[in-house]
Chains A and B, each alone.
Chain A
Amino acid sequence: MLDQPTPPDLSDNAAAQGPAVIRFAGDSGDGIQTLGAEFTKSSALTGHGFMTFPDFPAEIRAPAGTTFGVSAFQIQIGGDRVKTHGDTVDVLVALNPAALKTNLSALRPGGLLIADADAFAKRGLEKAGYAANPLEDGSLDGYRLEAIEISRLTREAALPEGVTKKEAETARNFWALGLVYWMFAQDRTPTAAWLKSKFAKRPEIAAANTAAMDAGHTYGDVTDMAPPPRLRAVAPASPRPGTYRTLTGIDGMVLGLAAASALSGLRLHYCSYPITPASAILHGLAKLGGEGVATFQAEDEIAAATAAIGASFAGGLGVTGTSGPGMALKAEALGLATAAELPLIVIDVQRAGPSTGMPTKVEQADLNLALHGRHGEAPLPVFAAAGPGDSFETVIEAARTAVTFMTPVIVLSDAYTANAAEPWRLPDVDALADIAVDRDIDPDGFHPFRRDAETLARPWAVPGMTGLAHRLGGIERSAGSGHISYDPDNHQEMTDLRAAKLDHIRGALPPAAVTAGTDAGRVLAVGWGSTQGALKTAVEDLAAEGHAVGHLHLRHLSPLPRGLGEIFALYDQVVVAELNSGQLRGHLQGLFPHVSFRGLNKVTGQPFTVAEIDAALREDLS
């Protein structure tokens, strides 16, 4: 783990227009994620750039008030440069002592802490393991503390709407939300409208929550609880014109798969077995039922993968998705799809392992599994999505590659990208290129493993097509006829062919490019997947200070893009940053033995902070 560097000066008088980081924390029953979603929506509608980070416990309903039951939601809002959920928190809302205990370390010195004073009674303090009340014992002197009787104020506001005492109290989250809305001058009306429709059958609940929100808002106003000036000045973004929506990584995958189906004209068959955090893709696609998308909840990950292979064999676009442990189960099926040369997309939303590990936390440690986790030599493309919007594009590119080259493709996402949300500009659907499916196959002299010289792909004849009946299988086949063959030289030839297919794919993918910082110089920061936001921000900041540092982010991990070696040669040092112990670094070192690679690694279940990367890169720059 990296040492936490000293955060940059974010005191109230510092740069006026910087972004702000807000974190809400409370019990898992407190509706923290709802609150976060509403704040995100409002931030979007007021034109802020943002990135969110929901951080919830693995337990469905941990005992109330305990530290392991704390649910948190962090959002960074501000101008165009917001690419992460933020390193340190400017405003922390803690609805109980356990939430304070587990989240205080994220609050920057001098940051604003809003706590529900009512929740800091004897029982709550004991459950969280506090010997004394931190709101009163001076231990929070380094912060700007606002201990407010949120529970009481919520009750007073909500009760007149005709709800029970308990119902009134559960509106606490909306009281807090109202206060934060006031602080950031954000609009409450979308939330009020949402409450109205959400509780259409119980209008008094909607009214109680709205009243609580209004009360929180008014509280800010009348007490003139002046927010730190820098926060009030958070600048809206000035994005490219267009229509936007909020997109999580899961949304990106779901919509990307739907798009792949539309662009190819192939019906999508998503076969999956529930596992956190990948389950949400299954949920998202199941909702689209009837829209040309079929979902299948299989009996296990092996069945999910093999059913998807069956669907592809029969002419659909077979897709299977899972997370770490489920990925391990699919290994044998991936060998089959590689041998049979069928298109297949396999999504792995990585989570912290090994084994069951920490299902709700982030890690990028399935890379070796994706690159090498098959028996025999079964090379296949491995792509990684760098964020929510990039998930949409990556999955379409994966489908295009799978269909064009007749190969399974692995797409890596992770628990951070899956749940993080960002504003996303809707693509012009008409401008998206078709995914060509060539079914113009001549039955005369047809054989299932005759290859296209350009792509090395075999023809995709599907059951039902006249005159093209053929047999496929995992047994080695003759490169000529496609019949079973144990001939030694033939196996060499087939192995070489499968490897060569990756070279052809490399040729079709865009070459490597440095996308932030300087094109040559002292240090190149290389990353993949969800670390993109933190890496890019750190590199841009350093480059702005005049340092010769660049950032290269890899979407294509296998085959690696063209021109990588040439780019590496332009820097004195290449730093490979990843949330594992050095899997990509090891891979690159093997392929580029003369380059000096240094690893920047973290395996805590948490994403990189910008400051961590900044500090690590400075070491090489000094």
Chain B
Amino acid sequence: MNVMNPDLAAPDTGATPELTARDFTTDQEVRWCPGCGDYAILKAVRGVLAEAGRRPDDVVFISGIGCAARFPYYLASYGFHTIHGRAPAVATGVKMANPDLDVWVVGGDGDFLSIGGNHLMHALRRNVDLNLIMPNNAVYGLTKGQYSPASATGMRSPSSPSGSVEAPVNAALLALGAGARFIARSADTLQDHLPGVLKAAQAHRGASFVEILQNCVVFNDGAFEAVRDKGLTADRTLRLEHGKPMIFGKDRDKGIAVDWPSGTARVVPVGDGGPVYDVTVHDQTNLALATILARMDAPDLPLALGVLYHVPADDFTAQRGDAPRRVIDRVALTGLLSAGKTWTVGETDAA
């Protein structure tokens, strides 16, 4: 016999009140460097939360350590600023204890890909219902500018004065390899794009992984100029839309054509009323396409932004099938204690 645990938030039933970004704003002074890309990400997140309409009391932000990991202090929800790299594991525990919460995990590229690489991989493969957002500035901000696992080979930094010799991690590819079922990419400045991606991530039940290219004005300024520079971005990035041909360019005159047998993509001209039949249509459920998209990069190909891959499946809680609201009671305990072989010593044998 089990009793119900009254502590856990019940699923939202009643009408949700109208919320604004303000409802998710704390009184804490935000302490990022002026011009840091994290401000824009914070703004987008607050807006998305307001729109989603979950009570702030049912929203949880878990983070590791780093500049990006300071998010929880600035969001008027439940929050837990934990230890470097371990936020996905903490969040997994939160979800085990209460699957009804809307749980977000925030970490930088160092947090998620370096010290926490293992935990990220396992949260993704387990498909824990978490919204994992990774502001990627391709550098360690908080510890003052060392190269990170996402830094380009050759990057000079205090810990790599002659240039890093290490190959960077492709986060989207890593997430795909780990079995993530929602993978998206956006950038801090793309306020016409980032909120939509975050909204889709939140709506996805299971682990959603969003890489957000983020400018660190102090230690890696301009690292993603292709995305951020208004003059360049149209030609250097591709905005994905499920079911739509993959067309990009200022004049929408370029398309991506995938050569399936070789698993490669190339840019093909589009327009002038010419044939568009060889431009590949984005299918976010196609794992092979997602792999190709994740790898596209300058100089030959645009960077793919938007939802690269989205195939829902049962999340961790559903797979486990255990009911967190059930709590063992004394009757059940008595049964457990006396399970197996027991023997009784009678009153008469009393010493």
Residues of A within 8 A of B (CB): 41, 44-45, 47, 80, 190, 238-246, 255, 258-259, 261-262, 265-269, 271, 288-294, 296, 298-300, 302-303, 306-316, 318, 332-333, 335-336, 340, 426-427, 429-430, 432, 437, 439, 462-475, 483-484
- B82-90, B187-195, B266-274: which one contacts chain A? B82-90
Let me know if A291 and B57 touch, CB within 8 A.
no
Let me know if A44 and B349 touch, CB within 8 A.
no
Let me know if A464 and B101 touch, CB within 8 A.
yes
Within 8 A of A (CB), among B64-113: 72-73, 76-83, 86, 89-98, 100-101
Let me know if B351 and A314 touch, CB within 8 A.
no
Residues of A within 8 A of B101 (CB): 314, 463-464
Let me know if A266 and B327 touch, CB within 8 A.
yes
Q: A-facing mask of B110-126, CB < 8 A → 1, else 0?
A: 00000000110110000
Let me know if B345 and A464 touch, CB within 8 A.
no
Known A-B contacts A245-B340, A306-B90, A426-B337; the reply to A296 vs B82 at CB < 8 A is: no
Let me know if B58 and A463 touch, CB within 8 A.
yes
B11 to A: closest C-beta gap in Å: 10
Known A-B contacts A303-B119, A463-B60; the reply to A309 vs B81 at CB < 8 A is: no
Q: In the docked arrangement, what's the CA distance between A308 and B93, Å?
A: 6
Q: In the docked arrangement, what's the CA distance between A295 and B237, Å?
A: 44
Closest to B118 in A: A299
What are 19 contact pairs spanning A and B, CB under 8 A? A80-B351, A238-B351, A240-B345, A245-B342, A259-B333, A262-B327, A267-B97, A267-B325, A310-B62, A310-B89, A310-B93, A310-B94, A311-B96, A314-B95, A314-B96, A314-B98, A426-B338, A432-B330, A471-B72
Q: A-facing mask of B8-30, CB < 8 A → 1, else 0?
A: 11100000000000000010100
Within 8 A of A (CB), among B313-349: 320, 322-330, 332-334, 336-338, 340-347, 349
Closest to B24 in A: A469
Known: A261-B327, A426-B342. 7 other contacts (CB 8 A): A44-B341, A241-B347, A241-B350, A292-B328, A303-B92, A318-B93, A437-B7
Closest to A242 in B: B345
- Could you say which of A241, A292, A316, A333 contacts B83, with CB atoms under 8 Å apart? A333
B2 within 8 A of A: yes
Q: In the docked arrangement, what's the CA distance between A238 and B351, Å?
A: 6
Known A-B contacts A313-B80, A315-B97, A473-B82; the reply to A462 vs B337 at CB < 8 A is: no
Residues of B within 8 A of A (CB): 2-3, 5, 7-10, 26, 28, 55-58, 60, 62, 72-73, 76-83, 86, 89-98, 100-101, 118-119, 121-122, 320, 322-330, 332-334, 336-338, 340-347, 349-351
- Could you say which of B3, B76, B83, B329 contacts A469, with CB atoms under 8 Å apart? B76
- Could you say which of B9, B60, B81, B86 contacts A303, with CB atoms under 8 Å apart? B86
Give the interface centre of B76, B90, B91, B340 by most chain A CB atoms within 10 Å: B90
B86 to A: closest C-beta gap in Å: 4
Let me know if B81 and A471 touch, CB within 8 A.
yes
Let me know if B346 and A262 touch, CB within 8 A.
no
Q: In the docked arrangement, what's the CA distance between A293 and B320, Å?
A: 12
Known A-B contacts A244-B345, A429-B337; the reply to A464 vs B92 at CB < 8 A is: no
Residues of A within 8 A of B79 (CB): 469-473
- Could you say which of B28, B118, B119, B344 contacts A243, with CB atoms under 8 Å apart? B344
Closest to B324 in A: A267
